[in-house]
Amino acid sequence: MKLYIENLSKSYIDKNILKDIDITFESGKIYGLLGRNGAGKTTFFNCINEDITYDSGKIYLEAGYGKNLINTNDIGYVVSTPVVPEFLTAKEFLKFFLDINKISDKSIEEYFDIVKIEKEDQNKLLRDFSHGMKNKMQLLINIIANPKVILLDEPLTSLDIVVQEEIKELLKKLKDDHIIILSTHILELAMDLCDEIVILNNKTLEICDKENLNSKKYKDKIIKSLKDDKHD
């Protein structure tokens, strides 16, 4: 399965954010999208998810039935600040989601087990959940929806170490059947979790050679690329 981004460009008024991006992502890997704050990582995700219109370019998905323009139903988007219905309990929210999507292959408890939400938390209002717990709920909904492409915008920011490790292990289990792109500004996280590092700088994307992924030379090359980023 492959995601093709072809000649993608996006500007806001007179500021060019993305310019002629041409890149291919494939299933079986977790891609770490690295860029400085304001480089355009979220804009890139919003273009793929069609949350904003882009100036030019095409986005295609090849998933066993030929190469076609991507459909938003093929995309799961986990945003950095989780959005959940805080007036519902976790169990009420999950039941509602399963009912409206007519999904019944597992019990509610089995779904909660996927992201390790304990029984005593399942009847809590979502407004009382921590940031990390809300992130787990957001991720769980995307797992159940089973999109072909999963976009994760700073998904591990502000999470405690235990929740971080749980989500990292979960993503590793998902990668064979999904295209996963994870944006972050934390180099160590990207190098620890991701199979490929993608640098967003000077308005375009470049996949870095993953040879010697954990070497100091490789790390220094990434940092130099980020330092060379020029904002308008």
pLDDT at position 202: 83
pLDDT at position 13: 83
At 22-79, the pLDDT tens digits run: 999 999 999 999 887 778 899 999 999 999 999 999 999 998 878 899 998 999 998 8
> What is the C-alpha radius of gyration for the chain, rounded to an integer number of angstroms?
18
Residue 186 lies in a domain: yes
Q: How many residues does the chain have?
A: 232
pLDDT at position 7: 95
Residue 115 lies in a domain: no
Phi-psi map region of 203: left, alpha, beta (phi>0 left; psi -120 to 50 alpha):
left
pLDDT at position 66: 84
pLDDT at position 227: 63
Residue 157 lies in a domain: yes
Residue 142 lies in a domain: no
State the maximum Cα–Cα separation within the chain, in Å, rounded to a whole number. Answer: 52
What's the domain count of the chain?
1
Residues of the chain with pLDDT under 50: 232
CATH number at residue 39: 3.40.50.300
Parent domain of 209: 2-83+149-163+177-227
Residue 74 lies in a domain: yes
Residue 45 lies in a domain: yes
Please give the Cα distance from 161 to 184 (Å, whole number): 16
